[in-house]
Structure 1
Amino acid sequence: MSAPAQTEVHRPVGSRRWNAGRVSRVTVMLVVAAMFVIPIVGFIAMAFRSQEGVAAGTDGWLGLQGMSWDNVVFSWSQLTGFGPGGGGLFQRWIMNSLILAIAGGLLALIAAIPAGYAMARLRFRSRKFWLFATLLAMVMPNTVLVIPLFLEVNAIGAVGQLWPVAVIMGFFPFGVYLSYIHFMTTMPPELVEAARIDGLGEIAIFFRVGLPISKQAVALVAFFSFVANWTNFFLPLALLTSNQQNKTISIGIQELIGASPLFNATVAAGLDVKLYMPQLALATVISMLPLLLVFLGAQRFLIRGQTVGAVKG
């Protein structure tokens, strides 16, 4: 007589036992996460505190007890009052950064998407050379190009103006490479050949076939170019420092730090506006908001774009 079959008990997915190994791994991850999260929370809380509370140290752990919207209003009034003639420099720097980031991003899109398509699907002799040149320009440090670019802009007498910086920011080889990978993996060569047989020219193939399937590539190039342009420091520092009104927020934060009594008491002594840690923290948080908004707006396309190049279809 055969033994009765034993029924196997299946635990539901996610009901793993909390053994010592799992507890230790979760603990380590929580500790590492706290090491990153706690400084960020404290920094954001600093923008809501007053200088008196910071100096006295009475705002509690991370300064959460001293947070107040009135402190933000006061810090904002200090930031907007910074600069000669009643202030307004901080708002001007934010606007300049928006202009350069958007204009440079648009130019990067106009140049990168067609260039990536051309290297992926067109037939020409120097294709491999231009691909190699794109990779070389992509890995080249930006600091290496600052001095040659300054000499070229200075030769046309445009130092201190925004438009040459926007044009230079439109040179985005990483976007070209992203577009190249996108068209190589998502646009079969048979589709291009069929369009050619139907009598479409190369420009018509790009606009009628290639461009409609490149939404993820457009989102990736737009996002990364905006971030690169917004956070660019050395190029605006070399080309825009001669004009105080045309500086960007990346340089402006340095100006605010240099005008703070915490770092430069000599310069700050001649200013009506005094910038301390709450004001500097608020300026930094405001400078990060456009990046956060762009990321949230493009998040859906960025998540889909992560698979670009993973599967050839």
Structure 2
Amino acid sequence: MTTTRNFVVVGTERWSPGRVGRVLTMSVIALMFALPIIGFVAMAFRSQAGIEAGTDGFLGLGGVSFGNAIDSLDELMKFGPGGGGIFAQWMKNSIIVGVASAALAVAAALPAGYALARLRFRARKPWLIATLLAMVMPNTVLVIPIFLEVNAVGAIGQLWPVAILMGFFPFGVYLSYIHFMTTMPAEIVEAARIDGLGEISIFLRVALPISKQATALVAFFSFVASWTNFFLPLALLTSNQDNKLISVGIQELIGASPLFNATVAAGLDVKLYMPHLALATFISMIPLLLMFLGAQRYLVRGQTIGAVKG
């Protein structure tokens, strides 16, 4: 009997009026954010005729079909000079730049973070402060100086300068620094030095094996920053239509749509409307979702980087 009473009390406390109110409030807020997302995804699977007729029901869910998405994809792939295909090229360019910049960011951030966390050298604190300043500096401030530097080497319109520049990721250095400070005790480093290991050997044999979470975090955030960056690709890749990234390409698709710029769209053979633009945006998000799903296990663990055990 006592056990039953305790269970009832616990159950009553778990679903008290205050808790029910909080759950309902958060559910309403979540629904407010979810409805626009559902409507946006549904738009990619609707037809322009159904939108104009207004017969697709609530959020357009009544007019959703894969056939509409295939038709929109066919029109989207026709966009561009020389018979189209420019959208697929933009996606390919973004994947190349994103993967290359993430690899460069990881290769640079982990050694730099380890050095700042566990090596003893002069100007260590100034370097850390410089890293923090570079991390909080807006990217738009650096666009013009970077453009002048890239133009000086004659690389405007090429992908490799963008990949290298996006590989410069101070936030990744800071994450690695926090990781090695919190998960790699100084006693381990001292013991390795007493055993005769050099700093490079300590990094390769001791630090790297325990840095999977930091690697996943740096790679993920670097890839996202590269994929969503707009101003740098806009400044460096505008001279070459085939080398544009999807972040700039989406803006170009919107600017060439009759919904937003009837003058420009009048001279184009392919007319892109709301379903085509929604599908292009939805496709552009797929690599980010795949990147997140692939690194999710390490990202969840990596959220505790910097936490202090009680």
Interval of TM-score (by shorter of Structure 1 and Structure 2): over 0.9
Highest Rg: 1 or 2?
A: 1
Quote the offset at 1:15 in angstroms. Answer: 4.8
**Please, which of 243, 248, 254 is the counterpart of residue 245 of structure 2?**
248
Q: Where do 1:101-250 residues align within 5 Å? A: 101-250=98-247
- What is aligned with 1:3? none
- What is aligned with 1:30? 27
Cα distance, 1:7–1:14 mapped onto 2, change above 3 Å: closer
**Please, which of 268, 271, 276 is the counterpart of residue 273 of structure 2?**
276
Which whole-Å CA distance do the structure 1 matches of 2:286 and 2:199 have between them?
41
Q: Give the root-mean-square deviation of aligned CA atoms.
A: 1.5
- What is aligned with 1:11? 7
Does residue 292 in structure 1 map to residue 263 in structure 2? no
Letter in 2 for 1:218: T
Quote the offset at 1:16 in angstroms. Answer: 3.3
**Structure 1 segments (4+ residues) deviating >6 Å:** none
Contact 1:45 1:62 survives alignment (8 Å): yes
Contact 1:49 1:66 survives alignment (8 Å): yes
Letter in 2 for 1:254: Q
Quote the offset at 1:273 in angstroms. Answer: 0.8
Does residue 301 in structure 1 map to residue 308 in structure 2? no
Aligned residue for 1:157, secondary structure, equals: coil
Unpaired runs of 5+ in structure 2?
none
Letter in 2 for 1:10: N
> Percent of aligned pairs with the same residue?
75
Quote the offset at 1:19 in angstroms. Answer: 4.5
**Please, which of 254, 257, 265 is the counterpart of residue 257 of structure 1?**
254
Letter in 2 for 1:61: F
Quote the offset at 1:204 in angstroms. Answer: 0.6
Deviations 1:88-133 (A, max 9, x none): 1000000000010000000001100000000000010010011000
TM-score by length of 1: 0.95
- What is aligned with 2:77? 80
Which whole-Å CA distance do the structure 1 matches of 2:71 and 2:31 have between them?
30
Quote the offset at 1:20 in angstroms. Answer: 3.8
- What is aligned with 2:58? 61
Contact 1:186 1:312 survives alignment (8 Å): no
Cα distance, 1:187–1:22 mapped onto 2, change above 3 Å: closer
Which whole-Å CA distance do the structure 1 matches of 2:58 and 2:152 have between them?
55
Q: In proportion to residue count, which structure has more helix?
A: 2
- What is aligned with 2:97? 100
Quote the offset at 1:272 in angstroms. Answer: 1.1
Deviations 1:149-178 (A, max 9, x none): 001001111111000011101100000000
| Further displaced range: 169-178 or 16-25 | 16-25
TM-score by length of 2: 0.96
Does residue 310 in structure 1 map to residue 307 in structure 2? yes
Quote the offset at 1:262 in angstroms. Answer: 0.5
Contact 1:185 1:312 survives alignment (8 Å): no
| Further displaced range: 108-117 or 25-34 | 25-34
Aligned residues, how many?
308
Quote the offset at 1:14 in angstroms. Answer: 5.0
Aligned residue for 1:270, secondary structure, equals: coil
Quote the offset at 1:11 in angstroms. Answer: 2.0
Deviations 1:256-285 (A, max 9, x none): 001101011111111111100000000000
Which whole-Å CA distance do the structure 2 matches of 1:263 and 1:295 have between them?
32
Letter in 2 for 1:293: L
Cα distance, 1:14–1:282 mapped onto 2, change above 3 Å: farther
